Amino acid sequence: MNTRRNILFITTDQQRYDALGCNGNRIARTPFADRLAASGINFRRAHNQNVVCMPARSTMLTGQYVRTHGVFANGVALPLDAPSIAAHLHDKAGYRTALLGKAHFEPAFDLTQRWRENTMGRKGDVGPLRGFERAELAMHGPMGGWHYSVWLASNYPNEISGFAALLSGTGGGDTGAPETKYNPISREHYHTDWVADRTIAYLDSLAAEEPWFVWMSFPDPHHPWDPPGEEARRRINWRDLDLPPGHPGSREKIERILREKPRHWLDWYEGRFRNPEGGPFNFIPCQMTDDQVREVNAMVHVENELIDEACGRVLQRIAERGWNERTDVFFTTDHGELQGDFGLLYKGPYHVDALMRVPLIWRPAPCAGIRPAEIHEPVGHLDLAPTFCEIAGLPIPGWVQGKPLPVAPGSGRERIITEWDSQFAQVGMHMRSVYRDGFLCTVYEKSTRDEGFNLEPLAQARQVPMPEIRYDGTEGELYDLREDPLQWHNLWNDNARQKLKSDLIADLYDHLPPMREPRLMVEAPV
């Protein structure tokens, strides 16, 4: 009888740390995640290594820093020969492997159908893919040639039109909030339940004695915010919500806070800078009403509840198969969402907790005998791959740059690093952040003008201004998260913090690995 531990790796997309009840949420009901945290390990200071989808997901797959695997931005395809923890578990330990849901290791904006991920569903191709024996893929709604899109169009074509348009910025819902819609689709046909259904079907195809590594990857709560309308209407009324704690409460206070930060913060809020790397071109945050913030948040809470319930169904099936005792369960996301913090929405070159700090829960297999714990030392996405190796009883390969996640406090971990490099040449921002000792320090390296995708045709087509912000390498952000958890007070120029700032900057660069050479190219907008 096989006694090796199985691994269920659950990811969401664009979900905040505080989205879960176990992490302080008092609106969305997330009993599945809360039970995982109570019986497992809740990492209170987990950070991604990049705050957008493709770089973060590439780090999860490879166990490498962004500058090593090379996917420094959306639109940069992960090389086909990049290392894969799924391939390692399959080839070295005989694990059955599957990826069900969102992949996004290749650009999704693919008009010429160049990248395989975007055509697999249309071609009936279910793998293998990057070490996964089986891959059934979904994106945000019924777009493209992914498996979910083909399934919905083939079986329920009348439900396709109910989704909001991704990156359109089009107003909807009750308040005209961007990319918000009460989707008339039935819950059973929405992509959240589809991902859970395909995961259960794959698990049911396995023999009881086979070890498996399954990545169950939900596209929500990433925008557009368009959950099944019947669920949204009955669960949470946006009119009952307060503004989130990170929202300053008035335009005057928002502007006062943003003036303390580097220029692109306030310029985005007021519309002088557009943020194509994190949201729609036509979105100007200062035009967003308080009620629109409330409605977006209500939709996000509903989507988080649906994800939680879908996870519960999968865990129930695992228990019915007799696997629970030897199955490790991980729950995390690729990056967060501003969701009203600072009066802003979406994501982008903004290194604050709303985007960098992610939920990370590990429920070790009960047979492992690991006690429940809360761990406050910093960890990151690059620590997942070596943890999977340790569970499988494999040596950690040399290409992995992370370390196995600690199972108890006192690991001595001191820092975690997150990076940002613009995908558009005309934006040209380069940011390096380190969290250490309760401080978050972000260095703005000198702006460039010749690295990345040419933004001008897109900007002209949408009749929006080209970015004009340039940083000379002296700008930055410094926050004391113990005194200022909302990151409203930038201490970068505080005379009393200059020695600390210098120490954190030196520490940051001492621990950054070399940049991949040659640099990969941005090949699509997203």
Q: Has residue 522 been placed in a domain?
A: no
Average pLDDT of the chain is: 97
Q: Has residue 200 been placed in a domain?
A: yes
pLDDT value, residue 2:
66
Distance CA(396)–CA(404), nearest Å, equals 9
Residue type, 275: N
Are 194 and 150 within 8 A, CB to CB?
no
pLDDT digits (tens, 9 = 90+) for 214-272: 999 999 999 999 999 999 999 999 999 999 999 999 999 999 999 999 999 999 999 99
pLDDT > 90 fraction of the chain, expressed in percent and rounded: 96
- Enter the pTM of the model: 0.98
Q: Has residue 77 been placed in a domain?
A: yes
Are 83 and 62 within 8 A, CB to CB?
yes
Place of tokens 């989808």: 53
CATH of the domain at 85: 3.40.720.10
Expressed as residue numbers, the domain containing 46 is 6-240+288-412
pLDDT value, residue 462:
86
| pLDDT band, very low/low/confident/very high, at 201 (cuts 50, 70, 90) | very high
pLDDT value, residue 111:
87
CA-CA distances (angstroms) from residue 174 to 46, 165, 226, 243, 508?
35, 16, 12, 17, 45
Q: Which two tokens stand for residue 379?
A: 């960890």
pLDDT digits (tens, 9 = 90+) for 58-77: 999 999 999 999 999 999 99
Are 387 and 351 within 8 A, CB to CB?
no
- DSSP letters along 274-306, please? --TTTS-TT--GGG--HHHHHHHHHHHHHHHHH
pLDDT digits (tens, 9 = 90+) for 281-291: 999 999 999 99
Overall average pLDDT of the 44-48 stretch = 99
Overall average pLDDT of the 186-195 stretch = 98
Backbone angles phi, psi at 115, to 5 degrees: -100, 140
| pLDDT band, very low/low/confident/very high, at 466 (cuts 50, 70, 90) | confident
Backbone angles phi, psi at 227, to 5 degrees: -70, 170
For 444, the enclosing helix (H) or strand (E) is: strand 439-445
Q: Has residue 215 been placed in a domain?
A: yes
Q: Which two tokens stand for residue 154?
A: 């083939």
Q: Has residue 475 been placed in a domain?
A: no
Q: Has residue 267 been placed in a domain?
A: no
For helices 263-270 and 251-259, angle between their N-to-C axes, nearest 10 degrees: 150
For 418, the enclosing helix (H) or strand (E) is: strand 415-421
- DSSP letters along 167-219, please? T---EETTTTEETB--B-S-GGGSHHHHHHHHHHHHHHTS-TT--EEEEEEEE
For 142, the enclosing helix (H) or strand (E) is: none
Distance CA(39)–CA(52), nearest Å, equals 30
Q: How many domains are there within the chain?
A: 1
> Nearest to residue 47, comparing CAs of 392, 482, 413?
413
pLDDT value, residue 3:
80
pLDDT value, residue 98:
99
Q: Has residue 345 been placed in a domain?
A: yes
For 386, the enclosing helix (H) or strand (E) is: helix 384-392
pLDDT value, residue 177:
98
pLDDT value, residue 458:
87
Q: Which two tokens stand for residue 121?
A: 């569903």
pLDDT value, residue 61:
99
pLDDT digits (tens, 9 = 90+) for 358-379: 999 999 999 999 999 999 999 9
Overall average pLDDT of the 478-490 stretch = 98
Residue type, 166: L
Q: Has residue 27 been placed in a domain?
A: yes
- At residue 57, does pLDDT exceed 80? yes
Overall average pLDDT of the 388-404 stretch = 98
Instruction: Identify how many contiguous H helices and E strands the chain contains and give both numbers.
Output: 15, 17
Are 227 and 242 within 8 A, CB to CB?
no
pLDDT value, residue 41:
98
- At residue 114, does pLDDT exceed 70? yes
| pLDDT band, very low/low/confident/very high, at 1 (cuts 50, 70, 90) | low
